Amino acid sequence: MADELLINITPMECRVALIENGTVNELFVERTAKRGLVGNIYNGKIVRVLPGMQAAFVDIGQSRTAFLHLNDMVWARTQTVPNIFDLLHPGQVLPVQVMKDMLGSKGARLSTDLSIPSRYLVLMPYGNHTGVSQRIEDEEERVRLRNLIDELQVKHQLPGSLIVRTAADGMTEQEINQDMAYLAKLWEYIQRKQKTVEAMGLIFEELPLPQRVIRDLANENTSKIYVDSREIFQKLQEFILEFVPTMQERLFHYPGEKPLFELYNVEGDIQKALQTRVDLKSGGYLMIDQTEAMTTIDINTGSYVGGRSLEDTVFKTNLEATHVVARQLRLRNLGGIIIIDFIDMQETEHREEVMKLLEKMLERDHAKTKITQVSELGLVEMTRKRTRESLEHLLCESCPTCQGRGYVRTAETVCYEIFREILRYARAYESQRAYTVVAHPAVIDRLLTSEAAAVADLEHFIDRIIKFQVENLYTQEQYDIILN
């Protein structure tokens, strides 16, 4: 079954779903009021240089200063590693490109090694070598493309280096030439804009999401591209005609009454992607726990007992889990350090087969992934390149009750905290005759029932009356003690 791209447009946001073999595998969301910054090029102003970290904070006009590390800067690699002060100083203005969006409390990550993509190529004006995507496996085609790029680069007088993207596989010289001509014009525009922009400001803005996904994701496997907005459909027609003419016959406007995402059950998949538990068809399940430091994925057999033996059951569950893990990484856009806890397998052959299948499934991922090692405890340690916020961080916020911890103190614990606080007040304020405890209904209920004897003992001990008042708007951990 061929791939499909679904583009859902509303005045507030644009959402794109990539359907592979009838399943939603990737989701992109771009809010109108909060567009991503990745790919944008700015004139940035150095605010502060951090010699201990070999990095600097850069003002690019956003709410938080961005971060620029020495390793992401252009300098002669033949020389010894310079000190950051040799390259940067406060007040300095230089062109920078956003590599990673602002994530959580962190500002955007920057680079001075600019990267400008087109349909088939990526121009790196400060690079020094031509590269070909590893996903183009045919060696003869790799050589053809490399020679063609070297020849056309001289013709268009493009500086630096070019990376050949996967989409260039099998493309004609004319198509590659048109793509490079576009890059030459774009680079000329960026250089001109850099000189006219004031001390700080936007030089080049990455394409809007609909055009971007067609440039980056549409390929020979894409059978249909549906857009539910007539206005965006017309804009995409113009974009495709100029940059991706092979997709002209595959772009369709969807005018149906039933929402496009509901038609393909994308809405249901989004809701499931925000849950911690992911069920396997066999009866097993995954538990996905995303934190700021890392993401952990725990695999369990659950109710599945279909194997001939325990080892067979575990092996089949782990094999099924590799497919689901690879899909969930893409769908949820999980990045950074990822730890996968497969169920323990006794047979070495089974462990090797599960790892091979996981690596094979990860080959389909557009983001760069790397399995670093399998630890002594059998945990698979891997990384996935993170350039934008995960689906959870994009669509959700920390729970105001638990502050993102995933738990709250019990009513019993809060009661005992209240007792200790009252004792402290009794010692500090001798003139008070009574106390009023204002708390969540569950806490007050426990104070009046299970803890009633303890309350009576406390009243006798401090020789003061304790009153209670329910406040429905309080969380279970909140309380106040009013001195009367």
Task: Give the percent of the chain with pLDDT over 90.
Answer: 63
pLDDT of the residue at 293: 85
Residue 208: exposure state from Cβ atoms within 10 A (0-12, 13-18, ≥19)? middle
Once rounded to an integer, what is the mean pLDDT over residues 371-396?
Answer: 85
Angle value at C-alpha 369, between 365 and 372, nearest 5 degrees: 150
Q: pLDDT (tens digit, 9 = 90+) per residue, 358-369?
A: 999 998 888 889
Angle value at C-alpha 392, between 389 and 398, nearest 5 degrees: 105
Q: Residue 302: which of 289, 290, 320 has the closest Cα?
A: 320
Cα–Cα distance measured from residue 124 to residue 119, given in angstroms and rounded to the nearest whole number: 14
Q: pLDDT (tens digit, 9 = 90+) per residue, 290-335?
A: 988 899 999 998 776 666 788 888 899 999 999 999 999 999 999 9
Where does the pLDDT of residue 470 fall: very low under 50, low under 70, confident under 90, or very high at 90 and above?
very high
Q: pLDDT (tens digit, 9 = 90+) per residue, 160-214?
A: 999 999 888 888 999 899 889 989 989 998 998 888 876 778 999 999 999 999 9
Once rounded to an integer, what is the mean pLDDT over residues 268-287?
Answer: 92
Q: Extract the tokens encoding 474.
A: 């309080």
Q: pLDDT (tens digit, 9 = 90+) per residue, 117-166?
A: 998 999 999 988 889 998 888 999 999 999 999 999 999 999 999 999 98
pLDDT of the residue at 307: 61
pLDDT of the residue at 244: 84
Q: Please give the full DSSP string across 417-453, using - where no structure is assigned.
A: HHHHHHHHHHHH-TT--EEEEEE-HHHHHHHHTTTHH
pLDDT at residue 429 tops 90: no
423 CB contacts (<8 Å, ≥6 apart)? 458, 462
SS3 447: helix
35 CB contacts (<8 Å, ≥6 apart)? 208
Where does the pLDDT of residue 33 fall: very low under 50, low under 70, confident under 90, or very high at 90 and above?
confident
pLDDT of the residue at 291: 85
Alpha helices per DSSP H over 222-347: 230-243, 260-263, 266-273, 310-331
DSSP conformation class of 64: S
pLDDT at residue 91 tops 60: yes
